[in-house]
C-alpha cells in the first residue's frame, strides 16, 4: 500500500526525519511518500499557525491524495484532520490522535512531553478535541530554549527523559507521548531510562493508517465525515475547488 505522509510545516529536514521513522516502522509492502508543506511556517506552534497549516494541508491533500491508500498528517496537533476526513475518500490519521489512542491501550492515563511551553494552548485544544482529556495526566514542557528545530532531540535528550520520568512518577502517567515532530526518533533513545512506555507519535500514526487501509471502512454518506454537497467556490486552488464542486 501507498501512504502519503504530509508534513504541514515547511521544514524539509523535519520531513526527512519523519519519513525515516515512518519507513522504519512501516510494514513490508508499505510505500511511504513524504511531502513538505509548500507554503506556511517552518514549525506550527500555536492555534493560529495550526489553522494556517490546516488550510494548507487540505489544499495539498486535494491536489496530491489521488493514488494513495491513506494519508498521515504529520504534525502533533493534527492540523486539518477532521476536514481531510470529510473531503477525502481515503483514511487519514494524525500524529496526536494516533498517539493518544495507542496510549489508551498501554495505560489508563498518558502525559505529553513537548519541547516548548508555547505549545501548551495548541496541544490542550488538540486533546480536548479528542475527547480524551480525562485520560491525560499532564503536559510537561522542556523550558530551556533549543538552538535548532532540526537537532532538537540531540540537544534535549536528557531533559526529555527527565520530564518523561517525572510525568510517570509525579503525575501518574502510565504512558508518555513525545509531542512535536522534531522529537521524532527520540523515544527509542530514552525508553530504557523511563519507567513507562514512551511513544513516538509518528509510529502509531503509520500503523493506524496501515490498519485502516486493511479494514476498508466505507466512505460515509451520512454524518460528520460525509462528503459535503457540491458547492461552488471562488479564489481557491483548483484541486480544492474541484473537490468542493465534486468535479474531481
> Between residue 146 and residue 165, which ones bind a second copy under the rule CB under 8 A?
none
Report the SS3 class of residue 70.
strand
By CB under 8 A, residue 180 contacts a second copy: no
Residue corresponding to grid cell 510537561: 140
Does an H or E element contain 35, and which? strand 31-36
| Residue 132 touching a second copy (CB under 8 A) | yes
Q: Please, what is the minimum distance in Å from the beta carbon of residue 159 to a second copy?
A: 19
Question: On the CB side of 197, how many CA atoms lie within 13 Å of its CA?
Answer: 16
8 A C-beta contact, residue 66 and residue 60: no
Contact of 46 with 122, CB cutoff 8 Å: yes
Q: Does 12 bind a second copy (CB under 8 A)?
A: no
- Write out the binding residues for a second copy, residues 59-78 only, by CB under 8 A: none
Burial status of residue 211 (CB atoms within 10 A of its CB: 0-12, 13-18, 19 or more): middle
Q: Contacting a second copy (CB under 8 A), which of 1, 33, 211, 242? A: 211
Measured N-to-C along each axis, helices 47-64 and 238-245 cross at an angle, to the nearest 10 degrees, of 80
Query: Per CB under 8 A, does 230 bind a second copy?
Result: no
> Rounded to the nearest whole angstrom, what is the least distance from the CB of residue 186 to a second copy in the complex?
15
Among 20, 33, 47, 155, binds a second copy (CB under 8 A): 47
Furthest-apart CA pair in the chain: how many Å? 55
Q: Does 48 bind a second copy (CB under 8 A)?
A: yes
Contact call for residue 145 and a second copy (CB under 8 A):
no
CA 187 to chain centre: 15
Q: Which stretch binds a second copy (CB under 8 A): 14-22, 148-156, 177-185, 210-218?
A: 210-218
Among 3, 35, 173, 177, binds a second copy (CB under 8 A): 173
Least separation in angstroms between CB 101 and a second copy: 4
Shortest distance in whole angstroms from residue 16 CB to a second copy: 18
Taking CB under 8 A as the rule, which mask of x and - marks residues 92-111 in contact with a second copy?
-x---xx--xx-xxxxxx--
Does 32 sit near a second copy (CB under 8 A)?
A: no
Smaller CB distance to a second copy: residue 64 or 207?
207
The residue whose grid cell reads 483514511 is 91
Closest Cα to residue 137, out of 107, 95, 159?
107
Q: What whole-number distance in Å separates Cα of residue 151 and Cα of residue 149?
A: 6
Q: Give the one residue of 2, 64, 135, 189 binding a second copy; rule: CB under 8 A.
A: 135
Amino acid at each position: 500500500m501507498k501512504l502519503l505522509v504530509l508534513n504541514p510545516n515547511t521544514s524539509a529536514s523535519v520531513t526527512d526525519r519523519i519519513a525515516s521513522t515512518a519507513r522504519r516502522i512501516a510494514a513490508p509492502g508499505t510505500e511511504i511518500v513524504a511531502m513538505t508543506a509548500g507554503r506556511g511556517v517552518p514549525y506550527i506552534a500555536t492555534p493560529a499557525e495550526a489553522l494556517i497549516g490546516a488550510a494548507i494541508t487540505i489544499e495539498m491533500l486535494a491536489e496530491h491524495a489521488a493514488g494513495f491508500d491513506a494519508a498521515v498528517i504529520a504534525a502533533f496537533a493534527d492540523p486539518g484532520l477532521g476536514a481531510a476526513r470529510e473531503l477525502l475518500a481515503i483514511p487519514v490519521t494524525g500524529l496526536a490522535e494516533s498517539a493518544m489512542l495507542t496510549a489508551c491501550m498501554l495505560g489508563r492515563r498518558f502525559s505529553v512531553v513537548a519541547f516548548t511551553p508555547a505549545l501548551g494552548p495548541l496541544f490542550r485544544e488538540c486533546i480536548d478535541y479528542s475527547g480524551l482529556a480525562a485520560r491525560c495526566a499532564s503536559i510537561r514542557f522542556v523550558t530551556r530554549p533549543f538552538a535548532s528545530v532540526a537537532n532538537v532531540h540531540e540537544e534535549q535528550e536528557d531533559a526529555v527523559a527527565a520530564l518523561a520520568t517525572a510525568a510517570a512518577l509525579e503525575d501518574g502517567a502510565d504512558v508518555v507521548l513525545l509531542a512535536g515532530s522534531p522529537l521524532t526518533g527520540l523515544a527509542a533513545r530514552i525508553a530504557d531510562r523511563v519507567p513507562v512506555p514512551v511513544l513516538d507519535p509518528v509510529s502509531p500514526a503509520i500503523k493506524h493508517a496501515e490498519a485502516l487501509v486493511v479494514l476498508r471502512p466505507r466512505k460515509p454518506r451520512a454524518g460528520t465525515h460525509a462528503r459535503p454537497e457540491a458547492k461552488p467556490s471562488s479564489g481557491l486552488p483548483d484541486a480544492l475547488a474541484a473537490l468542493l464542486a465534486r468535479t474531481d
